[in-house]
Amino acid sequence: MPELPEIETIKRGILPLKNSIVRKIFRSSLKLRIDATKKLDKIIGSQIISIERRARYLIIDFNNYHSLIIHLGMSGRITIDSNFKNLKHDHFACQFDNQQWLIYNDPRRFGFIDLVESHDLNSHKMLKNLGPEPLSLDFNHQYLQKKLANKNCNIKTTMMDNQIVVGVGNIYINESLFLAKILPTKMAKNLSKKEIINLVESIKKTIATAIEMGGSSISDYQNANGELGFFQNQHQVYGRQNQDCHKCGCIIERIVQNQRSTFFCKTCQK
DNA sequence: CTGAGCACCTGAGGGC
DNA sequence: TGCCCTCAGGTGCTCA
């Protein structure tokens, strides 16, 4: 699924729905990770007052003091269309007063749609323990240095922990560690101050560049208008096992950490 | 409290 | 063509 840059791209794509009023709701009978089916009717007749992103969650606020939380899991997709065809894996759809449909499609169903009263949003179990946004000032080397001290875990897995920093998924941590020249297997507590400064900057740069390019389109990711992102063309290590490192020409290796693929260049990264 | 591993699902692609 | 295996943008839960 989409990482932060992909969600940000989708958010920008559905921003024009602001001020729209919900007319109809569709919900498939299949289970998502959270079952909010019974609550969803509450937004019928309500108007969207804001559309935001927090970590990998899309938050849509309505004027009746309810907020819709959308998470795309690994395979979720959101599209805007003037027709709703109820295709395979369409699990939620919502028609607005301008006749447009917002359609949520998720083959693996690792995602969810939930509805809460807006004042309870921050205490939602998926949102309450989130760390800082990678592009915020709160994510800086002083902060990270504190978090990594005594951390007995490899740096790659550590940085994918949403309590440390949100939205840095498997593509972008692999790319960020390459950019920062740090081995993914290095113990988090053993990073030097210089490496931590470097890593913070590399994550910010990687995420910001990916947002500019509309995210990474691998397999079937596309934005709300069905367009593809282009950041995958910039990948230095992700998905490039056995290919030449663009910097030094050595072979990119693939290992598994915490059941996720890790790609790195053992010459460039120390 | 921490870290490791599992669970939740479907679909694509490769080897035989 | 089909079967069996591995792999995939995530994240909460359980167990030692």
**Which nucleotide lies closest to A162 by the C1' atom and the CA atom?**
C11
CA torsion through residues A92, A70, A10, A60, sign: positive
Q: Is A213 domain-assigned?
A: yes
Chain B positions with a protein C-beta closer than 7 Å: 2-12
Each residue's pLDDT tens digit, A196-230 = 999 999 999 999 999 998 888 766 566 777 777 88
Residues of A forming the active site = 2-3
- Bridge-based pairing of strands A48-54 and A57-62 is antiparallel
Q: What is the pTM of this model?
A: 0.96
C-alpha A176/C-alpha A203 separation (Å) is 5
Buried b (16+ CB within 10 A) or exposed e, A227-263: eebebbeebbbbebeeeebeeeeeebbeeebeeeebb
Same domain? A150 vs A112? no
Domain end residue (candidates: A68, A88, A123): A123
- How many degrees, rounded to 5, is the angle at CA A138 between CA A140 and CA A129? 115
Q: pLDDT value at position A222?
A: 67
Question: pLDDT under 70 in chain A at which residues?
Answer: 1, 218-222
Q: Where a domain ends, among A123, A153, A177?
A: A123
For the stretch A17-59, pLDDT in tens is 999 999 999 999 999 999 899 999 999 999 999 999 999 999 9
Name the residue closest to the C1' of C9 by its CA: A1
Gap from A74 CA to C11 C1', in Å? 10
Shared-domain flag, residues A59 and A88: yes
Look at residue A129 and tell me if it is in a domain: no
Domain residues for the domain of A11 are 4-123
